Amino acid sequence: MVIFLVDLKDPIIKGYLINLVGEEGFKVVKNMPEGEVTDEKISQETDVLLNIVRRTLFILYENRLAVYRRERDSDSGWLTYLWKLDLDNLNSQLEIEAKKLLKNLKTKLEFENNKVFYVCEKQDGRFLFETAAELEFICPICGGELKFQENELTIKALKQRISQLEEMSSGTVA
């Protein structure tokens, strides 16, 4: 078992990795054998299907969280890939994700601030004013009335989340 300087029990790190590679992929990360190992060995050691191990390794590689070395068998000419986790870039990956999230939240906040919404009285849908007007304020799903929706709580929640992210990043996220 690999000893990490990264705490895989940290909910932010665990959540990020599960979002990136899924539950089974996280099992691969958590139980990865030490040193350079083949995908077959990883599959045996972690009890995760080989195709899931391979998918996980390539996703980790694409996100600079795993490295591999190719070795050619001199007799058969076959290439063997030896994999190793490299979680040194995890913090920078988390920063990149935080920047994306912050940008998306700011875009959503701007959208919520600049639009007027109507919702179905039976909660079948949420519509922009323009669409609701075209529908003559009748829900196309159930035929119920579309009523004005106050979105102040949504705006307040978005502002709070943006503030939390900016505070966590100490102003480094733009």
Residue-range domain boundaries for the chain: 11-85, 92-168
Spatial neighbors of 157 by CB under 8 A, at least 6 apart, are none
What pLDDT was estimated at residue 46?
94
How confident is the model at residue 166, as a pLDDT? 86
Residue 85's pLDDT is 94
Residue 10, pLDDT score:
86
Q: What is the pLDDT of residues 41-78, one digit of tens each?
A: 999 999 999 999 999 999 999 999 999 999 998 899 89
What does the pLDDT read at residue 5? Answer: 66
**Per-residue pLDDT at 21:** 96
Q: Helix 90-114 crosses helix 152-168 at what angle (to 10 degrees)?
A: 150
Flag residues of the chain having pLDDT under 70.
Answer: 1-5, 170-174
Check: pTM over 0.75? Answer yes or no: no
Q: pLDDT value at position 8?
A: 87
Pick the CATH number of 11-85 from 3.40.50.2030, 1.10.10.10, 1.20.140.10, 3.40.50.300: 1.10.10.10
Tokens matching residue 93: 């990956």
